[in-house]
Chains A and B, each alone.
Chain A
Amino acid sequence: MRVSLNWIKKYVDLPKNLTAKQIAYDLTLRTVEVEDVIDTSLKYHDIVVGQIKEIKNHPNADKLKICMTDIGKGELVQIVCGGSNLYEGEYVVVSLPGSEVVWHGEGEPVKIKETKMRGVASYGMICGATEVYLDNFFPTKEETEIVDLKDIDCYPGQNIAELVYMNDTVFEIDNKSLTNRPDMWGHYGVARELAAIYDVPLKKIEEIKIDPKLPEYKVEIKEKEKCNRYVAIEIENVYEKESPMWMKALITNGGMRPINAIVDITNYVMLAVGQPTHAFDRTHVDGKKIIVRNAKKNEELLLLDNNTIALTEDDLVISDVNCALGLAGIRGGKKDSILPDTTGVLLEIANFTAGTIRKTGKRFDEKTDAAIRYEKNIDTKRVDLGISLTLKLFKELFPESQIVAYKDEYPIETKRIEIDVPQEFLNVRLGKVLERKTVEKVLTNLGYEVKYKDKVYHVIVPVWRSTGDVSIKDDVMGDIARLLSFESFEAKPLTISFEQAVRQNHILLERRLKEYLAYRCGFNEIYTYPWVDEKYIKASSIDTSNSISLACPPAPSLAILRNSLVPGMLKAIADNLRYYDSFRLFEMAQVFTKGNYHESSLDETLPIHTKMLTGCIVGKDPREIFLEIKGIIENMARYCQMEDITLEVKEKPSWADINAYLNILYDDNIIGSLGLVSFGTMVNAKIKRTNVACFELNVDALVPYNSRTNEFKHLPQVPLVEKDLAILVDEDVLWSDISKLLKSKVKELEFIEEYHGNQIPDGKKSITFRVKLGSGDKTMTSEEIIKEIDKILKTLNKMCGAILREE
């Protein structure tokens, strides 16, 4: 919303020497957020009134004239102009060098320089209205028309901002910060806040009452819950004309466009006191009767452009005896326009309830200024302010006008809310003991009535805040706190109670998992969206029959919510392959599947959420990265202090290679898997010229230790004997077979390498490993060592045909 400082000053005398910036700051801190402060005169700098003294023909152009112009500097200046309505003696608008204009009213502003036009020097430019932000003040018919200031009191050299009352400051207020403040949707409301902030009086809007003896205009409200008050005033001897310059300026700075004096009065009243008002041409109201009713089935509203809108039976309409004239509080139809032949109007100053307006308004993209205000829930008393101001303006702009009929239909009056606010409540919640005087002054300045009795403030909320904004004692406390400024309250430190230490094992486990992968295993953590491109879901062949989807997804291909983190990981890999050829990524996040889960209570049924952890290693050598990722999972439990997980081949994950995968088990249940990403998946995910090893693991299924559990082992008294052995075995002999055989025979067993190469016959492989031997209490003799090694080799030879290659 735009607020004009000149307008505010009509209602409150602000302290002297107060800058606009300071006002904006104080409003922001205490009431509503001011997003911008605009000096409206700036764009008119170096734009002045000029008088054309002499017109000469241009030697090189038929359409251009040379105007000798008085700009108040004594000497005349020469300006070349192509305007179609030039005449000698004409008062015009001149942009001097240094000013900025919008050429033909389009595009970015351009700086005016002294220049030559077709060979003739021109000192500035004689302007059309749209070129110098004057279209709100001087309506033009033709594009080539320049502004003719005839009939306007002005003099050469006068600054245009002064002429059109644009020496003003506009505060741009964030509408969001006004959602709960229906009283702030007009300048009078903002003035009231400023009066309270600076503790200065707010001027009253002069009350004008209508002669009760006037004939009655017929008004019937059929839906009293939707329309709490409807005032109809019939006025004659008014007609379509332009508003005075000062009014055009205020309406402009309030963010609207001046139309004609009648419409401008209604808009002015709305911008001033926040009360929407409406003027019908009185001849358009058939039967001289207003009916406020719900729309009928299949009823339509005819618009000014001859289009129609279909109405529903919920919509509230303003109707005459024949048909709907407009949608109540939202927009008018064709029949309610003010036309050149208008001689009398029927004014509507009414109260419609917020719910009604919001429900109907939802169907239209653009919200009208009236609808925005009604939606905030306006009190019925404001109609009185509307009447007073409207009648004052009609008298001023149309002195010959006459009120001929009138009706105030007022079925429901807004009641002022009354609240008891205990003094002790304020002291505790504000953390500060406030004097009774302070509390009473702050509240009174805001329009509250306050009675103090037995340590309780009994407050009567002002009617303009009684429509939902202030309803409980906390609201009153909030008003006091903000008006005194939050800054004036001393910050009080929190007390810490030492009842128990915070201990959250699973949350700590999640952190250890992430830190293990990042800091010990060299992974980079990523976050991806929960909606995944179908392309990657298909690539990973993941079954989505148990997936859930979005009703209104970011894009049609992004409707499915992930049930696995793998597809998102595939996309991240494909994206990063443009810049890196080997890397490691991981992500921890929830995935979703259909199901019935009750987080809080049985009455709330949610889908199944599972926190998953996935990671990948991207690299050239598939054997290498497979073993690397396997090592990372094998060591995870120990490093992250959780119960052990085991690896076993049980069930191939859809994305994995047929020969290189393992399932991750806890307590015999599959809780994840690891493996090489299959060729097909990589092709479909457009992952080229590399290999990927991937794991996915259910974090919720992991069980953290309550504390570190590994037990201390005594250091050996006698050193163990270390021996490296290389054996030759058939290709199909597995390391797990070998290690099973040796486990009981040695103290420690360590795999060193597997080798296929020149010296190794086809169908065979060499395996090198290290054994540690020892009895514990005495050093082994060399005979004992030889005997032990021999035993090991014999067992290996017998069970899997191993032959010693080298020792």
Chain B
Amino acid sequence: MEKKLDEILKQGLEKITNSKTVEELQSIKKELIGKKSSLNEVLKSLGQMDSEARKNIGKKATDIRNIFNEKTLEKENEIIASKSVLDKPLDITLPGKKVMNGSLHPVTQMCYDLNDAFLSLGFEVFSEDDISSEKYAFDNLNFAKDHPARQMMDTYWIKGTEDKESNERLCLRPHLTGASVRYLLKHGAPARFVYPGRVYRNENVDSGHERAFFQYEALIVDKNISFSSGMVMIKTILEKVFGREVKVRMREGFFPFTEPGYEIDMECLVCNGKGCKVCKHNGWIEVMPGGVIHPNVLKAASLDPEVWTGFYINIGLERLVMMRYGVDDIRLFHSADLRFLKQFK
């Protein structure tokens, strides 16, 4: 009898191992441990055996049933695990399907990155008109009456107003700073805001010069702040843009609307300050002018310079984008060329 049981176990395990589908496995299981199975017959015949044999054979038969249960479950899991949903083979090296490939202009992306950084510092975003009067573009900013930028050759004056003066002489704004005065007139002080926008200069166009380009101005007016506070702000912003620590330096710079004014340089990220073609071999790249707002500008904004002070920085957005991605031709930004734009998805 024991031999018979061994035979049942051996054959049963063989059948389980060889089964291919879940359905086949189910019918094998029925055949092995079902009512009509030989194992069941052995169990049925237990009554006719003596107590010693009944105990031994009974235990062995129950063990075999447990083994069959266990093994079929194991095999079923194995079959399910190896089953694919595919009916035909799939070439998984085929390229994946395209996703929507729209993009914001790289200048817009840079602008939004900066907006997010400045918003976290409690700045507002200001936006203003492209056309300004000479009063706001030059007079209020302490530009000398005969400053060259006021001439026909440097600024795009609006036809019919070019021979007039101040309030009546209109131009495509040559910089953003003029409208900052308007913001201050409207909102008063203290103030902290950023002001992205496009500006226009009558220039000869080449890979480094454009007639229309984007600036990003940040301005703070408050009581008792020192000019060195600007440095932290500048560092924060550049680190946000370039994603790593950036070394900056401030050096003497002159702008009619600041006192003192400074040029802000950052260490060249291409050569880490060792000197390369990008930085013209001096290790530093001029990124933006900045400075303490000139008292005359505060006066133009109806603020008392004895009470208020402030500073500002002005970033060229294209220049930052060019440094971030290594773009070497500023003309691409206004080209609307998709071969360029699609790279900034």
**A binding-site residues for B, Cβ under 8 Å:** 28-33, 176-177, 179-181, 355, 358-359, 362, 428-432, 472, 474-475, 477-479, 481-482, 486-487, 489-494, 496-497, 502, 504, 507, 511, 514-515, 517-530, 548-554, 559, 561, 571-572, 575-576, 579-580, 583-585, 589-590, 592, 599-601, 603-607, 609
Contact = CB atoms under 8 A, between A and B. Distances in A.
A29 B170 CA distance: 37
B79 interface: no
A544 B333 CA distance: 27
B262 A358 contact: no
Contact of B228 (A358, A490, A507): A490
Interface string B218-255: 00100011111101110100000000000001111110
B125 A496 contact: no
B82 interface: no
B211 A554 contact: yes
Nearest to B169: A551
A492 B251 contact: no
A352 B254 CA distance: 24
A474 B146 contact: no
A550 B159 contact: yes
A538 B235 CA distance: 49
Nearest to B120: A496
A180 B132 CA distance: 26
B334 interface: yes
Given A571-B336, A605-B133, 19 more contacts: A29-B251, A31-B252, A355-B146, A475-B259, A481-B260, A482-B260, A486-B231, A519-B102, A524-B338, A527-B336, A549-B159, A552-B157, A554-B202, A576-B336, A579-B338, A589-B198, A599-B128, A599-B182, A604-B136
B158 A548 contact: yes
A548 B226 contact: no
8 contacts: A431-B228, A431-B229, A489-B228, A494-B229, A525-B341, A550-B156, A589-B198, A604-B136
Contact of B229 (A179, A492, A523, A600): A492
B105 interface: yes
B97 interface: no
Contacts of A530: 130, 172, 200, 212
A600 B182 contact: yes
Given A474-B294, A530-B172, A590 B130 contact: yes
A177 B123 contact: no
A177 B159 contact: no
B100 interface: yes
B167 to A, nearest CB: 5
B159 A551 contact: yes
Q: Per DSSP, are chain B's interface residues mostly helix, strand or loop, or mixed?
A: mixed
A486 B263 CA distance: 10
A429 B131 contact: no
Contacts, number: 227
Nearest to A490: B228
B102 A522 contact: yes
Given A472-B259, A575-B337, A518 B124 contact: no
Contacts of A551: 152, 156-162
A180 B228 CA distance: 23
A478 B158 contact: no
Contacts of A489: 226-228, 231
A33 B228 contact: no
A624 B68 CA distance: 63
Nearest to A496: B122
Contacts of A590: 129-130
Contacts of B160: 548, 551
B158 A493 contact: no
From B121, B212, B226, B262, residue with most partner A Cβ within 10 Å: B226
Nearest to B156: A550
Interface string B104-138: 11011000100000010111110111111101100
A474 B295 contact: yes
Contacts of A600: 136, 182, 185-186
Contacts of A479: 260
A429 B334 contact: no
B342 A524 contact: yes
A491 to B, nearest CB: 4
B339 interface: yes
A358 B151 CA distance: 13
Nearest to B254: A180
Nearest to A553: B156
Interface of B: 100-105, 107-108, 112, 119, 121-125, 127-133, 135-136, 146, 151-153, 156-162, 167-168, 170, 172, 182, 185-186, 198, 200, 202, 211-212, 220, 224-229, 231-233, 235, 249-254, 259-263, 292, 294-295, 309, 333-339, 341-342
Contacts of B226: 428-432, 489, 492
B43 to A, nearest CB: 50
B228 A550 contact: no
Nearest to B161: A551
Contact of A584 (B102, B127, B172, B232): B102
Contact of B112 (A428, A502, A511, A603): A511
B202 to A, nearest CB: 7
A269 to B, nearest CB: 26
A478 B254 CA distance: 10
B249 A29 contact: yes
Nearest to B335: A575
Contacts of A603: 167
Nearest to B134: A604
B103 A518 contact: yes
A615 B219 CA distance: 33
B250 A504 contact: no
Contacts of A475: 259
A525 B105 contact: yes
A575 B105 CA distance: 17
Contacts of B172: 530, 550, 561
A548 B159 CA distance: 7
Contacts of B224: 428
Nearest to A493: B232
B233 to A, nearest CB: 6
A431 B122 CA distance: 22
A502 B338 CA distance: 35
Contacts of A496: 121-122
The 5 closest A-B pairs by CB, nearest first: A431-B226, A478-B260, A572-B336, A486-B250, A491-B231
Contacts of B162: 551-552
Nearest to B204: A554
Given A355-B146, A529-B212, A607-B170, A519 B100 contact: yes
Nearest to B119: A502
Nearest to B250: A486
Contacts of B253: 33, 177
A604 B337 contact: no
A579 B250 contact: no
A487 B249 contact: yes
Contacts of B127: 507
Nearest to B129: A609
A176 B256 CA distance: 12
Contacts of A517: 102
A701 to B, nearest CB: 16
A472 B142 CA distance: 14
Nearest to B341: A524
A481 B291 CA distance: 12
A559 B211 contact: no
B102 A523 contact: yes
Given A358-B146, A496-B121, A429 B227 contact: yes
Contacts of B232: 491-494
A41 to B, nearest CB: 20
Given A525-B103, A527-B336, A30 B252 contact: yes
A527 B334 contact: yes
B68 to A, nearest CB: 44
Contact of B211 (A491, A526, A529): A529
Nearest to B179: A599
A493 B235 CA distance: 11
Contacts of B153: 552
